[in-house]
A and B are shown apart, each in its own frame.
Chain A
Amino acid sequence: MLFNANCLALLVFIIVPAILGVSFGIRRIYMKTLLKIFEWATLRMERGAKERNQQLYKPCSNGIIAKEPVSLEQEIQEPRGGGGEFDMSDILYFCRRGVESIVDDEVTKRFTAEELESWNLLTRSNYNLHHISARLTVLWGLGVLIRYGFLLPLRYKNKLYPHPTSKVNLMCYRICVRALTAIITYHDSDNKPKNGGICVANHTSPIDVLILASDGCYSMVGQAHGGLMGFIQKTLVKACPHIWFERSEVKDRHLVAKRLSDHVADKTKLPILIFPEGTCINNTSVMMFKKGSFEIDCTIYPVAIKYDPRFGNAFWNSSKFRMVTYLLHMMSSWAVVCSVWYLPPMKREEGEDAVQFANRVKSAIARKGGLVDLLWDGGLKRSKVKEVFKEEQQKLYSKVLVSRQEDPEHS
């Protein structure tokens, strides 16, 4: 009896709306209720902290120290006492900058989950365990029961593998999306990517693909993986022509560029979906876009994806969690709430090279999604920074020394 009721619920609330592409609005009510509960939880913790005469630890996303945006030239060019090019006090600038970066830097914090200002009743995002009252513990316990006892099994049952037919493909993505209790708001859908173009988006998790593919048909590009990902990739290829590369082929940039160019030249083929950052970032910033996809002569359709971190952290920290653990986290969080903005298409302008074009697109995406626009490479997650950047700093300082020598009156 219970099994039949479950099936009926499945059909009515998930499969039929997915096929028809409509929504019941139940999920939005669920979302609003959750937010109210989170606010209450945070207030309780603040009260608990005040009773103990302590301050509640509030993570802040704007950085913890005041950093003046003064450049090397500005700070060091100040008028000093003696003449000559070098001043022993020059070292103070590098010293302070260095220590500032030790206390708080712009890059390393992008590779771990964003810290929230209010608690969302998930143990994984709590930093104030000792301020929890009895009532809050009960609520948290209830949350655990609901998420692992009800939401998770429900979502697990709904995981269907994509069917080898293209229209059903779209439906299946939509089913997956509903199965995750994903509440997605699409903005500016008239800018949706068209055939013969490349769609670029900022990357936070594998779910990005699910979110975009449930609102449009794309050809994916990526590295051929093994394991669960590999199986999914092979299955997807049966439905639509995707472009999977072997690791060895990835290094051959000309080969990659040729295959992509051939694909976009064919107007009957679907737009290619690419994540130029090359790796998952924690959705607080957009990092360097690799120029490869911007060298191809075609229209770029930028898309900005911003997750609401209050309902669950969507960022996949691949060095900390395996894919399976990550999916488990996703299926046991409250919901996946995000906004997708389709930006107007962009083309490379006269006299603009691929890198400048990539940066222009990146800035547009960062602006729309409310993310920090960084020039740093997402690859720094795993590799060391290149020596050439240090050499740039040294060159800058040398220029200052030389300019002082040439113009001693000024300094």
Chain B
Amino acid sequence: PLWCDKVLLRASRRVEIAYFSHSQITRLYSRFHSLDKGENGALSREDFQRIPELAINPLGDRIINAFFPEGEDQVNFRGFMRTLAHFRPVEDNEKSKGHDASEPLNSRNNKLLFAFRLYDLDRDDKISRDELLQVLRMMVGVNISDEQLGSIADRTIQEADTNGDMSISFSEFIKVLEKVDVEQKMSIRFLH
């Protein structure tokens, strides 16, 4: 549709085109447009919360937060695609090779970074005991006691923390998840 062309032209000069095909970008734009109830070319947190399956996800708010850069509360289509690019399956990487020196958004490392940031509430590149407790509380609701949750948090940090600072850094996080098939668990395949 005509409203799509201008955006696509601009998008095609950006890095995101490397992660999605033309038809996938069109579908994502169609989805973006249907979520954008205010029709102002940007999504707010409320627009995301309107999706019932996301609203009942215990980590729904953390996931929504991942779309918004620090201090902003609007995300445009480019930002939307950029965040979704993290979930492209890893083998679709050929297009982005040689594009620039930095790692592709959907690499294993960047997928892990995405997950790490779900825990790291204050974005200080460390998961503190308090942050871990808060995220655990989001996932279990009222069904587990404070003490039990506290001991779970303690045990998790104890196992992961190698430098003794009582918090989990990104490299410690990578070590903890080294045996996990992150590529498969954090990938979303398009049907077309």
A-side interface residues toward B, CB under 8 Å?
54-55, 57, 59-60, 62-66, 75, 80-82, 84-86, 88-109, 112, 126-130, 376, 380, 384-385, 389-395, 397-399, 401-402
Contact = CB atoms under 8 A, between A and B. Distances in A.
Interface residues of B, number: 59
Contacts of B177: 88-89
Contacts of B114: 95
Contacts of A112: 34
B17 interface: no
A64 B27 contact: yes
Contact of B57 (A57, A88, A393): A393
B19 interface: no
Interface string B166-181: 0000000100110110
A101 B84 contact: no
B2 A101 contact: no
B156 interface: yes
A60 B34 contact: no
B161 to A, nearest CB: 12
A385 B52 CA distance: 6
Contacts of B152: 84-86, 401
Contacts, number: 169
B63 A98 contact: yes
Contacts of B60: 98, 390
A380 B34 contact: no
A105 B191 contact: no
B56 A398 contact: no
Contacts of B119: 88, 91
Contacts of B173: 88
Interface of B: 1-2, 5, 22-23, 26-28, 30-31, 34-35, 48-60, 63, 84, 87, 114-115, 118-119, 135-136, 139-144, 152, 155-156, 159-160, 173, 176-177, 179-180, 182, 185-192
Given A108-B51, A385-B56, A81 B179 contact: yes
Question: Lowest 6 CB-CB distances: which A-B pairs, in order?
Answer: A394-B141, A398-B143, A101-B53, A98-B63, A389-B56, A92-B185
Given A94-B57, A94-B139, A108-B34, A100 B186 contact: no
Nearest to B178: A81
A77 to B, nearest CB: 14
Nearest to B28: A103
Given A105-B54, A393-B58, A127 B1 contact: yes
B50 A108 contact: yes
A155 to B, nearest CB: 29
Given A64-B191, A98-B60, A100-B188, A384 B27 contact: no
B190 A390 contact: no
Nearest to B26: A57
A91 B156 contact: no
Given A98-B63, A393-B57, A84 B190 contact: no
Q: Which of B28, B52, B155 has the most A CB atoms < 10 Å from its CB?
A: B52
A140 B10 CA distance: 31
B144 A107 contact: no
Nearest to B111: A92
B132 to A, nearest CB: 9
B87 A398 contact: no
A105 B34 CA distance: 12
A101 B57 contact: yes
Contacts of B58: 94, 390, 393-394, 397
Given A64-B27, A92-B182, A394-B143, A105 B118 contact: no
Contact of B156 (A60, A86, A95, A127): A86
A86 B180 CA distance: 14
B180 A390 contact: no
A380 B12 CA distance: 36
A88 B160 contact: yes
B69 to A, nearest CB: 17
Given A102-B63, A393-B56, 6 more contacts: A85-B152, A89-B180, A97-B57, A128-B1, A129-B1, A384-B49
B143 A92 contact: no
Given A393-B58, A398-B143, A65 B189 contact: yes
Nearest to B180: A89
Contacts of B52: 105, 107-108, 376, 380, 385, 389
A129 to B, nearest CB: 6
A82 B175 CA distance: 12
B185 A93 contact: yes
A84 B159 contact: yes
A102 B84 CA distance: 9
Given A88-B160, A89-B180, A130-B2, A98 B57 contact: yes
A99 B87 contact: yes
A144 B22 CA distance: 32
Contacts of A126: 1
B189 A66 contact: yes
Contacts of A391: 141-142
16 contacts: A55-B22, A57-B23, A81-B179, A88-B156, A90-B139, A91-B135, A96-B188, A100-B188, A101-B53, A101-B57, A108-B51, A112-B34, A390-B141, A394-B139, A399-B143, A401-B144
B59 A94 contact: yes
Nearest to A90: B139
A90 B58 CA distance: 12
